[in-house]
């Protein structure tokens, strides 16, 4: 694993965007795995800048997102599809028909998870997967557990994740209780992984995930078994390592 220490959120975002831009420049038809949440917003803004400067062309890309809340429609402002549209897709020349997010409205969890795995396989797998990390070490919505769940599945969100995400909703009751997420194997099969972390709230979990035992109780710890991972973090998030 390579670790890049950056000064602050802006520098972390620039560094992450540079790494994603390199992947796109080297292979304009690549498949990117994308994340939502507050951490990648700056990275997406930097990518949009590069598009506006004429450095990046998104037209050949396929994207697959890590996760989606079950029960939320794509036009619900809290859905991850809506997030991707407003934070990135609406601002670049991406072909929307080749951007994939699990379908939160599909009530048949098995069918949706199988369909999503198939989409990723048909895209030829993921070339570069962007990840954030939850304060409990979750990646995607793979919550701390007694085992790693390999494939795309439907999860019941933990109270810690509901607490962390309620800031995006009017009230806590509005936070969906279930979500679809890529599984650990789905993520680990990505050819390259870029994980970004910022802020002192992530410092302890960064230490646990990357310097503690590899365990499903800290899902991100599994990334240490991947041959090509880059961690980009700001000083606050990396302060304990």
Using CB under 6 A as the criterion, which residues of the chain lie in contact with ligand F6R when the complex forms? 35-39, 66-67, 132-134, 138-140
Core vs surface per residue 186-205: b (16+ CB within 10 A) or e? bbbbbbbbbbbbbbeebbeb
Q: Which of 40, 231, 12 is nearest to 223 (CA)?
A: 231
- Least distance from ligand F6R to the Cβ atom of residue 182, Å: 9
Task: Looking at the chain, list the stretches that DSSP marks H as alpha helix, in order from N- to C-terminal side.
Answer: 9-26, 41-52, 80-87, 109-122, 159-165, 184-188, 203-211
Nearer to ligand F6R, 41 or 57 (CB): 41
Cα–Cα distance, 202 to 172 (Å, whole number):
22
Contact 216, 144 (CB under 8 A): yes
Nearer to ligand F6R, 50 or 202 (CB): 202
Nearer to ligand F6R, 60 or 204 (CB): 204
Catalytic residues: 67, 136, 138, 143
- Least distance from ligand F6R to the Cβ atom of residue 1, Å: 18
- Least distance from ligand F6R to the Cβ atom of residue 55, Å: 25
Residues in contact with 239: Cβ distance below 8 Å, sequence separation at least 6, in sequence order: 200, 203
Nearer to ligand F6R, 62 or 129 (CB): 129
Q: Which of 12, 80, 23 is nearest to 56 (CA)?
A: 23
- Least distance from ligand F6R to the Cβ atom of residue 34, Å: 8
Instruction: Report which residue's Cβ sits closest to ligand F6R.
Output: 132
- Least distance from ligand F6R to the Cβ atom of residue 138, Å: 5
Measured in whole angstroms, the distance separating CA 113 from the mean position of its chain's CA atoms is: 17
Contact 197, 231 (CB under 8 A): yes
Nearer to ligand F6R, 67 or 208 (CB): 67
């Amino acid at each position: 694993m390579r670790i890049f220490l950056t000064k602050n959120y802006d520098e972390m975002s620039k560094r992450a965007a540079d790494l994603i831009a390199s992947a796109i420049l080297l292979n304009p038809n690549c498949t990117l795995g994308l994340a939502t949440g507050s951490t990648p917003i700056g990275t997406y803004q930097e990518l949009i800048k590069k598009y506006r400067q004429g450095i990046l062309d998104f037209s050949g890309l396929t994207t697959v997102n890590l996760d989606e809340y079950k029960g939320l429609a794509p036009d619900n402002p809290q859905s991850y599809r809506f997030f991707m549209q407003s934070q990135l897709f609406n601002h670049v020349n991406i072909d929307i028909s080749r951007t994939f997010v699990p379908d939160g409205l599909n009530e048949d969890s098995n069918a949706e998870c199988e369909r999503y795995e198939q989409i990723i396989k048909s895209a030829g797998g993921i070339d570069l997967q962007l990840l954030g990390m939850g304060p409990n070490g979750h990646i995607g919505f793979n919550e701390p557990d007694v085992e790693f769940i390999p494939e795309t599945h439907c999860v019941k969100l933990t109270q810690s994740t509901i607490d962390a995400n309620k800031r995006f909703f009017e009230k806590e009751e509005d936070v969906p209780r279930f979500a679809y997420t890529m599984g650990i194997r789905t993520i680990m099969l990505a050819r390259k992984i870029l994980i970004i972390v910022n802020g002192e709230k992530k410092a302890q979990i960064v230490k646990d995930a990357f310097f503690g035992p590899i365990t499903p109780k800290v899902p991100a710890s599994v990334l240490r078994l991947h041959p090509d991972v880059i961690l980009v973090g700001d000083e606050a998030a990396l302060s304990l390592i």
